[in-house]
Each structure stands twice: as C-alpha cells, then as structure tokens.
Amino acid sequence: MFKHVEPYPGDPIFSLNEDFQNDPRAHKINLGIGIYFDEEGRIPVLESVRRAEARLLAAGGTKAYLPIEGAANMRGAVQALLFGAGHPVLSSGRVVTLQTVGSSGGLKVGADFIARWLPGSQVWVSDPTWDNHRAMFEGAGLVVHTYPYYDAGDATAHPPRPAGGLEFDAMLAALAALPPRSVVLLHACCHNPTGVDLSRAQWDALIPLLRERELLPYLDLAYQGFGEGIDADAYAVRALAAAGIGFFVANSFSKSMSVYGERCGALSVVCPDALQAEHVLGQLKATVRRNYSSPPIHGGQIVALVLGEPELRALWEVELAAMRARILAMRRALHDALVARLPGHDFGYLLSQRGMFSYTGLCAPQVDVLREQHGVYLLRSGRLCVAGLNEHNLRASADALASVLAG
C-alpha cells in the first residue's frame, strides 16, 4: 500500500542538529540551530518563566480544553505586546488573535485561510528566507515566489560593493509589479537567515506601496526584543496598523521567553472593520478545528502571566535585554577576532546585521569543511547563529572560520 511513498530527506535544520548531537568530538560547536544559548552553552530557563510556572502549579487549575481560539488572557496580552496597549485598531475591534502552536502553527493556519478565502492569491517571500516558509505555504496549496532581498555584494564593481546589505530598490520594484491580493511575507525584525532588516525609513517607503498595490502583508515576528527592543522591534506592525492596511502577523515566544518546547505562539489579523474581523475569526477557528482543535494550556498561561503581571513583566524585560546584549557582545567579539586573523576581509556585516543570525557568505562546500574538519556546525546556506557563541568557543570558531575563508 505504501510502496509509492517517497523517503523524507529530513529538515535541514533539525537534521543538522541531530548530526551535531551524534558527533563524538568533544570540541564540536553548534552555530547552526536557531536557539539562544547562554554563556555556558545552555538553553536558559528565565527566572520570570520559573516564577510564572510556580504560580500556575500552586494555583492548580483545570486541564479542560481551551476554546478553539485559545485563552482570552493570553490573546489579549499578545495584542498589547504587538500593537501597544490602547492602540486604535484594538479599541475598534479590528484585530483578531489566535493562540497557536508556536508561530509555525500560526503561519500555517494563516496559509490555509488564505488558500480557502483568497483563491488565486500567490505568495512572495524574501530571497532568502527561513527554510520552512516556502514549505508551509506550498503545503497549503499556494504558489510561492521570491522577491529580491539580500545583497550578496559585487567584488567587480568600482568601488567594490560589500556583501551583507539589502537590495531595497530591487525589492520595491519587484513588489510594485505584483497583482493585487498578492501575499508578501515580511520579517518584522531580525531577518532569518540574514540578519538584514529594513530601516524605519525603508518601512515608511514600503508601506504606501503595499497599500497602493493592494498587497497583503504577512509578517513573521519570531524575535521581538532581540533586535533593538520590544517596542522598537514592533515598528512594522504598528506602522502597518496606523496606515489602515489589513495584514497578518504570526509571532512567537520561543526565543524571547526561552520556552521552545512549550510551543507558544499567536496569529493576529488586522481587518478593515469589526464585522469583517468577526467573520475572519470565525473562519480561522474553523481552520484550527480541522487541524489541531485547540491549543495547549500550559505555555500560553506562562506567557499570559509574564506579560500580564507587572513584577514578572519587568523581570522578563531585564532578562530579554540581557540576552540581546550578549548577542551584540558576541557579534563584536567575532568581528574583532576575524578582523585580527584576516585583516584584508570585510566583516562589517557582523556589526550591521541584527538578531540571532548572520549570513557569512560561506558557500555549502566551505560549510562542509567547517563541519568535517573543524567540528563547527553552520547551515549550508552559510547562516551562523551568533547566539551559539560564547567566551569558551569564540576563539575556536574564529580560527575555523578564518581557516576556511583564507582557503
């Protein structure tokens, strides 16, 4: 019966992590998987999360099913985090929010909704984008294309143009040519995999084009707080809302609260009016019911408590700022170490890119050499997880990267 089923080649990120776990070398370094590690190479459990979880356990509570759309306190906390408390789109009832199984679950529910209710719409994602974006939208039956994004540089130009920037003019030109109702997947901050973000001025230039061309933005916000700060990283969300544009935004707490396995995420949709929002929520609930029925309780209540209790919220913001500062310190340290080893190379991208990731420009064969000869694991795209660096492995990482880059 199943002879025709093709083998699964494996997810490139999870498969690489499995290879790392099976590597017997003591000096191996994991800069591949997108997880924040602390200075000792551990996935931290934040104190704010510990305290919230302790309160939940002490209170007992129910194990009954949540509503299809999730817990009201979690959904309300997410809306305030994304849009700011009291934002007009919230008070007017134009935003609907689902508690989802991670932001991945939110992305997929939104993709299924688009396939059902916006037939004929096609999706454009940045070149490059997170590996799973294409698979999620194609899995919903949508056609996926790319628009220009990352600037790989041009060594033959006069003067040479370094890699690591944004092809913003080409991006605008490509989006300006799209038909109405095209879905444009945008990273709200800390672009994965490149770390290259739009500036505020570039968002301000992009948003009128999205409105005029009647395009549907779909924001992925998985790293709020890892770029410039909680509110600053929500700039695109709030600017789109202020412009009166309908859009989707999927957000995650995996990184910002270090609750990866709890699968805490949400999907919010901004609609033209409250009646349309009511109808959209109903059909999103129908989509969830056909999929996983309702989200899990525990992780969502951790998020709701941390965001809703002033003491826990203040503690979380301090912890999140510390994680952001450590990533920035590792960026500077790796930049300085590589400049010292290869003074003729330009490593400025490490300082200009933001968030957990940097695009190194390494090709797949070079990444293979890093892994096989040095035990340093990167994605074959050349994406490096800066959050995997620490004072104990920085020197070895820089030595390995310099060796490969020097040829």
Q: Is 69 exposed, middle or buried (0-12, 13-18, 19+ CB in 10 A)?
A: buried
Task: Kindly report, residue by residue over 163-177, the tens digit of the pLDDT.
Answer: 888 999 999 999 999
Q: Is residue 11 very low, low, confident or very high in pLDDT (cuts 50, 70, 90)?
A: confident
Q: Is 12 exposed, middle or buried (0-12, 13-18, 19+ CB in 10 A)?
A: middle
Query: Cα(174)–Cα(63) distance, rounded to whole angstroms?
Result: 49
124 among known catalytic residues: no
3 among known catalytic residues: no
Q: Above 80 in pLDDT, residue 405?
A: yes
Q: Is residue 62 very low, low, confident or very high in pLDDT (cuts 50, 70, 90)?
A: confident
> Which residue of the set 124, 255, 285, 316 is catalytic?
255
**CB distance 316 to 224 below 8 Å:** no
Enter the tokens of residue 221. 């916000």
Q: What pLDDT was estimated at residue 369?
A: 96
**Where does 86-231 have alpha helices with state H?**
88-91, 102-117, 131-139, 168-176, 200-212
> Which residue of the set 124, 130, 285, 316 is catalytic?
130
Task: Kindly report, residue by residue over 178-210, the tens digit of the pLDDT.
Answer: 999 999 999 999 999 999 999 999 999 999 999
Q: What is the DSSP letter of 160?
A: P
Q: What pLDDT was estimated at residue 164?
A: 85
Q: What pLDDT was estimated at residue 367?
A: 96
Task: Kindly report, residue by residue over 270-292, the tens digit of the pLDDT.
Answer: 999 999 999 999 999 999 999 99
Q: Above 80 in pLDDT, residue 113?
A: yes
Enter the tokens of residue 189. 């901050």
For tokens 């129910």, name the residue: 62
Higher pLDDT, 215 or 152: 215
Strands 144-148 and 123-127, how do they pair? Answer: parallel
Q: Above 80 in pLDDT, residue 156?
A: no
Q: Name the CATH code of domain 12-45+317-406 (choices 3.40.50.720, 1.20.1730.10, 3.40.50.800, 3.90.1150.10).
A: 3.90.1150.10
Q: What pLDDT was estimated at residue 154?
A: 75
Q: Above 90 in pLDDT, residue 10?
A: no
| Whole-number average pLDDT of the chain | 95
Q: Is residue 13 very low, low, confident or very high in pLDDT (cuts 50, 70, 90)?
A: confident
Which CATH number does 65-308 carry? Answer: 3.40.640.10
Domain ranges (residues) in the chain: 12-45+317-406, 65-308
Task: Kindly report, residue by residue over 117-137, the tens digit of the pLDDT.
Answer: 999 999 999 999 998 999 999
> Which residue of the set 220, 233, 285, 316 is catalytic?
220
346 among known catalytic residues: no
Q: Above 80 in pLDDT, residue 158?
A: no
